[in-house]
């Protein structure tokens, strides 16, 4: 099954992406706790705003990190994991 890059990710209600100085990085806060995100997930998460689709997120990160092989595939994989973990909704 191929991933539809025209889908637009949104953080699910109750989930908030933010920089947390105590964690020295970006986190995803939700009612039951917190998830510390690695650098790659933080770069992607910072672009999830409910208006950019996955293709637009890939384009932005491709400009920021040119020449990274399989960048689009890695972003698709993040979206699939985030959806499976119920962090985001894709519409």
Domain ranges of the chain: 9-86
Is residue 1 scored above 70 in pLDDT? no
| Phi, psi dihedrals of residue 76, rounded to the nearest 5° | -60, -45
d(CA 11, CA 50): 8
- Architecture of domain 9-86 in this structure: Orthogonal Bundle (1.10)
d(CA 43, CA 69): 16
- pLDDT tens digits, 13-31: 999 999 999 999 999 999 9
d(CA 3, CA 7): 9
pTM value is: 0.93
Contact status, residue 5 vs residue 22, Cβ threshold 8 Å: no
d(CA 63, CA 61): 5
Contact status, residue 45 vs residue 59, Cβ threshold 8 Å: no
- pLDDT tens digits, 34-72: 999 999 999 999 999 999 999 999 999 999 999 999 999
């Amino acid at each position: 099954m191929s991933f539809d890059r025209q889908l637009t990710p949104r953080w699910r209600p109750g989930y908030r992406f933010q920089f947390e100085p105590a964690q020295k990085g970006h986190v995803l806060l939700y009612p039951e706790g917190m998830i510390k995100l690695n650098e790659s997930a933080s770069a992607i998460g910072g672009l999830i705003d409910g208006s950019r689709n996955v293709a637009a997120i890939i384009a932005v990160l491709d400009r920021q990190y040119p020449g990274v092989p399989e960048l689009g595939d890695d972003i698709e994989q993040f979206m699939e994991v985030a959806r499976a973990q119920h962090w985001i909704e894709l519409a």
